[in-house]
């Protein structure tokens, strides 16, 4: 009788270990936890968070009831990503959502065990987040935003608004690994279009104003390589650009809502919504190594006519007709 009880107890224990996280989520005090490592600020990325949380709800993960989300914000500072990633590992979260290339790299350095999902990364292979898009390997997977592959398209759009321009300033965070790949793409596209590139590197917010001072008279337009630092301070960047009479090209609509001239790129709320599907699969037992990295399916062209008028520019009707959104 004693041996039978021992055997039943052993079977009970083995069954408990095999329960998926989704089943354990029903036990009080045993909610699975998502560590949310945001690259920017809660205000700056509220639409991204809303898209992620809404999709989780649709999949049955209701914050505070069936799942816990620990939010942490890097505020565009790379050194914060390392600190936050280490904190989330100490909290023993079940999965980390790492908002952007640098955040995902920091999370990968912090743990090789906890699953990591990135909702957007410009070059997942080049930044060594994954071994390949089809077979990520390791504990990291997510979605690519195709950041570098769109550079030629953006320069072509700028040329439509500024047919005769020849000198292009490119602002990029020198500490952003995804920016290296995008800069190569920009250089190649610029050579094809006969453009001269004026490098505009920054590493922290304090360098933005002095860089614009140094740029005076040297460029006719500004291309901003998107990253958490630039995104966090997009209003400051566009204010200086407008004062310098520089039309701007960006990767995300949020920059244009903050006074930029144009943006063309992946729809980031949609990427964050799709990232929730990755988190759902992992919480239900899937391994990141087996979930392929996907590409964007929605791209937005956004034009700010208020900014165009302030700069004395006329945006061609043909371009406006192709825009997904016109701010006026």
Q: Look over the chain and give the mean of its residue pLDDT values, rounded to a whole number.
A: 89
Closest CA to 271 of 98, 85, 127, 78: 98
The pLDDT tens digits for 67-89 are: 999 999 998 888 899 999 999 99
Helix axes 46-58, 268-283, angle to 10 degrees: 40
Distance CA 288, CA 279 (A): 9
Write the CATH number of the domain with boundaries 2-145+268-297. Answer: 3.40.50.2300
Tell me whether the CATH fold assigned to 2-145+268-297 matches the one assigned to 148-267+300-327: yes
Distance CA 208, CA 212 (A): 6
The pLDDT tens digits for 5-21 are: 444 434 444 333 333 44
The pLDDT tens digits for 35-61 are: 999 988 898 889 999 999 999 999 999
205 forms beta bridges with: none
Q: What is the pLDDT of residue 74?
A: 92
- CA distance readout (Å), 181 to 127, 148, 194: 9, 6, 20
Q: What is the pLDDT of residue 148?
A: 58
Distance CA 317, CA 284 (A): 49
Q: Which two tokens stand for residue 41?
A: 């600020």
Across the beta sheet with 33-38, what order do the strands follow? 68-73, 33-38, 95-98, 116-121, 140-144
SS3 143: strand
Q: Which two tokens stand for residue 205?
A: 């917010």
For the whole model, what pTM was predicted? 0.83
pLDDT at residue 24 above 60? no
The pLDDT tens digits for 116-147 are: 999 998 788 888 999 999 999 999 999 998 76
Q: What percent of the chain has pLDDT over 70?
A: 90
Distance CA 192, CA 146 (A): 20
Distance CA 44, CA 52 (A): 15
Q: What is the pLDDT of residue 19?
A: 35
Assign 257 a pLDDT band (cuts: 50, 70, 90): very high
The pLDDT tens digits for 268-305 are: 999 999 999 999 999 999 999 999 999 998 999 999 99
- Top CATH class of 148-267+300-327 equals alpha beta
Domains in the chain: boundaries: 2-145+268-297, 148-267+300-327
SS3 197: strand
Q: What is the pLDDT of residue 118?
A: 96
pLDDT at residue 177 above 80? no
Mean pLDDT score, 179-186? 84
Q: What is the pLDDT of residue 11?
A: 41
């Amino acid at each position: 009788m004693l041996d039978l009880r021992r055997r039943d107890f052993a079977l009970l224990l083995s069954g408990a270990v095999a329960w998926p996280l989704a089943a354990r989520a029903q036990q009080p005090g045993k909610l699975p936890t998502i560590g949310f490592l945001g690259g920017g600020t809660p205000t700056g990325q509220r639409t991204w968070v809303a898209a992620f949380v809404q999709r989780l709800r649709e999949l049955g993960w209701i914050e505070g009831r069936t799942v816990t989300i620990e939010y942490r914000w890097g505020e565009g500072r790379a050194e914060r990503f390392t600190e936050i990633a280490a904190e989330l590992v100490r909290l023993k979260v079940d999965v980390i959502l790492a908002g952007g290339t640098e955040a995902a790299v920091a999370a990968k350095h912090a743990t090789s065990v906890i699953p990591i999902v990135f909702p957007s990364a410009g070059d997942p292979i080049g930044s060594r987040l994954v071994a390949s898009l089809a077979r990520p390997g390791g504990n990291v997977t997510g979605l690519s935003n195709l950041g570098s592959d769109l550079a030629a398209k953006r320069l072509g759009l700028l040329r439509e608004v500024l047919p005769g321009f020849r000198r292009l300033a490119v602002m990029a965070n020198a500490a952003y690994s995804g920016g290296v790949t995008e800069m190569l793409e920009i250089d190649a596209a610029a050579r094809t279009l006969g453009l001269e590139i004026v490098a505009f590197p920054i590493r922290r917010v304090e360098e933005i104003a002095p860089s614009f001072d140094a740029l005076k008279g040297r460029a006719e337009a500004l291309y901003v390589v998107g990253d958490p630092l630039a995104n966090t301070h997009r209003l400051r960047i566009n204010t200086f650009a407008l004062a310098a009479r520089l039309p701007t090209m960006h990767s995300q609509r949020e920059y244009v809502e903050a006074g930029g001239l144009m943006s063309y790129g992946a729809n980031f709320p949609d990427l964050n919504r799709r990232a929730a599907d990755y988190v759902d699969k992992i919480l239900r037992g899937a391994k990141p190594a087996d979930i392929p990295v996907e590409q964007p399916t929605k791209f937005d062209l956004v034009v700010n006519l208020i900014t165009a008028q302030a700069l004395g520019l006329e945006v061609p009707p043909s371009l406006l007709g192709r825009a997904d959104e016109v701010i006026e």
